[in-house]
């Protein structure tokens, strides 16, 4: 792995590689959590629309 250090390209240290790998894992975890939260929000929204017997287009028409 290469690092650009103030315009000088060099090999990354073991510490920098470990930091990058931890950072990458954190990004993947956050992305997955956001996707799951969005799916839960959408499921809740769909449940409310189903309970009310309305479509999304009908809700938009009612609220606009």
Q: Give the tens place of pLDDT for each residue, 7-47.
A: 999 999 999 999 999 999 999 999 999 999 999 999 999 99
Instruction: Provide the token pair at 56.
Output: 């999304």
pLDDT confidence of residue 45 = 93
Which pLDDT belongs to residue 64? 87
Distance from the Cα of residue 48 to its chain's centroid: 24
Pair 12, 2: CB distance under 8 Å: yes
pLDDT score at 31: 98
Residue identified by tokens 């390209």 is 9
């Amino acid at each position: 792995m290469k690092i650009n250090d103030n315009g000088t390209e060099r090999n990354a240290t073991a510490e920098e590689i470990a930091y990058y790998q931890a950072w990458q894992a954190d990004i993947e975890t956050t992305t997955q959590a956001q996707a799951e939260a969005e799916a839960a929000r959408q499921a809740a929204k769909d449940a409310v629309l189903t309970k009310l017997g309305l479509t999304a287009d009908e809700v938009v028409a009612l609220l606009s």
